[in-house]
Amino acid sequence: MFRVKYNYKRTYIGNIPKGEDLYDALTKIALEEDIRTGKLIAIGAVTEAVIGFFDQKLNEYNKIFLSTEHEILNCSGNISLKEGKPFVHAHIILGDKDGKVFGGHLMNGTKVFACEVIIDEYSGEDLNREKDNVTGLFLWRGRSLI
């Protein structure tokens, strides 16, 4: 078991402009501010979205395209390092006009209508992702809690 404690460092609060790609915008913030360890939450709406579902047998993401407007019911994730650069890993839950809900891994192609974001940054040992040979995913190295 390997546990590292982190300390709160600072918080970023703001909007993502209409028309921006949500994943790209979050990544841009993480890169520009050099956020090496953090968590994020977002709410708002999108005009279209791309979400992913990880197929555990094929070891790849299947993309789901939503071409209509949806509310962002929740978007949450984390920021850590992948190959030495800040990397955003986020999931998103979207609701349509009829109350149907869709969710998955946030991917490029999700266009913002309106979006409010809060990012908490932490200080401490860098949180690095490396490819896990068992799952095929890039997971936090040495971070088992049990």
The domains of the chain, with CATH numbers, are 9-124 (3.30.1330.80)
Report the range of poorest mean pLDDT among 54-58, 80-84, 142-146: 142-146
Residue (of 27, 21, 137) closest to 87 by Cα position: 27
Q: Considering the entire predicted model, what is its pTM?
A: 0.93
From residue 30, give the alpha-carbon distance in Å to each of 47, 70, 87.
23, 25, 7
Phi, then psi, of 126 in degrees rounded to 5: -55, 140
Q: What is the per-residue pLDDT across 69-78, written as a single tens digit (0 to 9) for each?
A: 999 999 999 9
In this prediction, residue 141 carries a pLDDT of 84
Q: Is 79 exposed, middle or buried (0-12, 13-18, 19+ CB in 10 A)?
A: buried
Contact between 92 and 112 under an 8 Å Cβ cutoff? The reply is no
